Homo-oligomer: A and B are copies of this chain.
Amino acid sequence: MNEFDLIDRAFRQKLHFKHSLTRIPGGDDASVHAVPAGLELVVSTDMSLAGVHWPHDFPLEHAACRAVNAALSDLAAMGAEACWVWVCAVLRDAAAGGQMGDGIAAALAGSGIELAGGDTVHAADNSLAVTVAGVVPQGKAMRRDRAQAGDDIWLCGRLGFAALALERWQGGDHSDDAVRAFADVQPLIAQGVALRKAGVRCCIDVSDGLLADAAHLAEQSCVGMEIDISAIPSLAELQQHVDPDDAAGLVLGGGEDYALLCTAPESLRDSLSAHAVRIGRCVAGGSVRALRHGVGIASSRRGFDHFA
């Protein structure tokens, strides 16, 4: 089997869905797409590696599915509709190509998102670079630098469960449940669109951990934040599995659940309460403080930093 056969077999045969805005699909030097008047293009790229973003012994199909969904989460954070994915797959062998193809197909199945192109290379270790693109109405993309003191802080999605699942896998629990608990990350595309339509203009996805990503948003918006973790529904659920301090650490520092953290003026409370949970308030200053029932707490974990 040569490179071109492998690409065809692993990817294209399983992934022949073509988006209605695509004019020339993958298989040429580049793909070509229409972006209708009134819409803007939204693009993000993410790299995932065996041994960094998933354990080496984690099933590759699930790891690839997770990598695609993680990349799509960046479109969710902008309030974009997802349209296309391009992948650069580094593969140990042809079997890895099949498994990655299965995982990418699983991530995109029924999503309305097209695999519009890619590249495969043979090397010692598996990795997957994923570029995603979508569309958003002109001027309506949610961004990180629009929070204002006095805004409410809202959370859409769960926190801490991916970190808990990863700890369990690394502790030796290799059951199907453990695989699913780490791998089944869902990009909150529909929720991001709903938040944007409800009027939200400021959002980030929680990939590095709540405190770390809140700090990014606070820094770019030049505000401070006070987040009361007792308002986060995940906390009580996590406390059924681990002790309260560990649960707080997982909620504040556990990354890769891809929840959406957004801010909005009080006037949007009624319309947002159907989509998210209110967990705090933007304040003057630049620091992000975590509280429990109004009392400041320290986090036992930090966002993951590849070069620390």
Contact = CB atoms under 8 A, between A and B. Distances in A.
Contact of A29 (B35, B37, B119, B205): B205
A118 B88 CA distance: 14
A24 B123 contact: no
Contacts of A47: 88-90, 119-121, 129
Interface string A289-308: 00000000000000001111
A307 B2 contact: yes
Given A44-B29, A46-B119, A118-B45, A308 B3 contact: yes
Contacts of A3: 305-308
Interface in A68-113: 74-75, 77-78, 80, 84, 86-90, 94
Q: Give the interface size class of chain A.
A: 35 or more
A208 to B, nearest CB: 9
Interface of A: 1-4, 6, 23-24, 27-35, 37, 40-47, 49, 51-53, 74-75, 77-78, 80, 84, 86-90, 94, 116-125, 127, 129, 131-133, 136, 138-139, 141, 143-145, 203-205, 220, 305-308
